[in-house]
Each structure stands twice: as C-alpha cells, then as structure tokens.
Amino acid sequence: MEEEHPHEAGLPPREKRLRVHVPTRHNTRLQRVMETVQADEELYALWYCQNVNAVGRLGMSDHGPVHMQIIANMALRILRLLVASGVEPSIIRDHGLTVDDAEVVVVLASLLHDIGMSIHRVNHEEYSLIIADRKLPALLTPAYPDTGTRAVVQAETLHAIIAHRRDGKPLTLEAGVVRVADALDMAKGRSRIPFEQGAINIHSVSAMAVENVEIEEGEEKPIRVRIALRNSAGIFQLDSLLKEKLRGSGLEPYIEVQASIAGDKEVSLVQTFRL
C-alpha cells in the first residue's frame, strides 16, 4: 500500500484520498463509528497535517491515513484473535460492556493515537489526547446516544491513546493491543519515502529491511506475528522497537514473534555510508 505524503501543497482532492476502512463484520456500533470517521473532513485534514510534520518536515516514516488504517486493522485483528482464544477485554471485565465496544475502543484509539503530531512530534501523545477528547464525542454519538456509556468508551479510548507512548503503561487489554499494533507497522513501504530522499540511518535502513508482517493464529500462544526480513538490519526493529512496545503491554503471554530472512539471501540496502 502506498503512503499518502505531501509532495504538493494542500490537501489531496477528495477523489484521491484514502478511504480508511476496517472489517466491521456484524458490529453495528463500529459500522456507525466508521461511517462518521469517513465523513469527517476535519479528521482527514488532521491526518494530512500530522504526515506533513512527520514525512515532509522531519524525514520520518509515514504517519498519515495509511498508517492509521494499518494500525486499526492490525489492532482489530489482534483483539479478535485474543477474544477467540478466550481472553476477556477490559471493557467487559470492568464496565460490563461488550466485545463490540472493545472493538470500537481499539479502532478509534488506533485512528487517533498520532493525531497530536499535527501540532508537534515532541509530546505528541499528550497533544493527541487534547484533540481526541474534542473529536470523540461527535465520532461516538451516532453509535452511543447514551451519555454514560459514551463517556466510558471515550475514557477507555483516551487511555489507549496515551498508553502507546514509549513509557506508557497500559492498564487495559485494549490499550496493550493498540500499543503493540502501532509497533507492528514496520514494513518497508512505511519508510520508503525518507529512505529514498537520503535519510540513511538505523531507523530507515532497518525499516526498509522488513519485507512484511503477518498476524495469525499461533500454536503455543494465541497469536503468532510472522515477520519476513530482506536484510538482518531489520532485527533492530524487533529488538529495539517491537520488544519495547511488547514489554509491559500485558500481551506478552499471548504473542509469539518469529522473524526470518525472506528468500535465499539478504538484499543489500546501503552500498556506501559517509559521515
């Protein structure tokens, strides 16, 4: 999937914008939420702005609508595999709500977790809370006309957003799911633009070394994350970034990670490096 990135000034025309979607299945609440998300012009503009800061100004990997969709789908996939294996979401255990509500939390937290980067990369998690707290009532109201239930879902979503940061301490299963899903968007397409523009560092090279990431039902644990590498440099993504997000997420007992070189030999990514 190609990134949406700021080569030309201004928002892309509507016909060229990514229509963010997730498999809602029979979850009518999630369906209503996604209809509201897809119709929200301001939300799309904020996604565009956060990607201008990330890719255009800081030379970072994609943080726009494509990243939002990938994380939302990964988070939903992880949550559904956990539930299928008998793991209970926190919103059921603590609030007496349903799996449908847990799905709404992980999807909305995924879609809003980096929204604060529209302001600045530094402290973007806190800025994400400010913007999300303003956006969530309108996004949730069509699916949650009851004020009390809506407040619970909003609070759980905000917790999942702030817990994705480096020193975040997820207190819910849903927050742990979003935290891990965010770390799993590491395939080469995400870093292609800064890499091709000359941002040659361990972050861009190691990300380019990751061919693809698959989330599937595990054997020893409920979930297996299978990662195909083009080059051993991709180990940095796993050992430094994924391991950090997985540790303390609460999902350690449920996820196994397997990484291997794709094909017969490694791909050379950098021919010459100069300081």
* pLDDT tens series, the chain, 275 aa: 444 544 567 888 888 888 899 999 999 999 999 999 999 999 999 999 999 998 888 877 778 898 899 999 999 999 999 999 999 999 999 999 999 999 999 999 999 999 999 999 888 889 999 999 999 999 999 999 999 999 999 999 999 999 988 788 999 999 999 999 998 987 665 544 454 455 556 666 777 788 889 999 998 899 999 998 888 877 877 877 788 889 889 999 999 998 888 776 766 654 443 44
What is the predicted pLDDT for the residue at 235? 82
Domain of residue 127: give its range: 15-261
Is the residue at 248 inside a domain?
yes
Identify the CATH number of the domain in which residue 43 sits.
1.10.3210
Is the residue at 272 inside a domain?
no
Read off the tokens for 149. 């239930």
Is the residue at 269 inside a domain?
no
Is the residue at 7 inside a domain?
no
**Euclidean distance between CA atoms 126 and 88, whole angstroms:** 28
Pairing of strands 255-261, 223-229: parallel
Is the residue at 58 inside a domain?
yes
Helices and strands (H and E) in the chain: how many? 12, 3
Read off the tokens for 95. 């609030």
Q: Which helix (H) or strand (E) holds 71?
A: helix 65-84
What is the predicted pLDDT for the residue at 59? 75
What is the number of domains present in the chain?
1
Give the CB-side neighbour count of residue 108, counting CA atoms within 13 A.
34
Is the residue at 273 inside a domain?
no
Read off the tokens for 109. 């937290």
Is the residue at 4 inside a domain?
no
Q: Assess contact for 237 and 207: CB atoms under 8 A.
A: yes
What is the predicted pLDDT for the residue at 188? 63
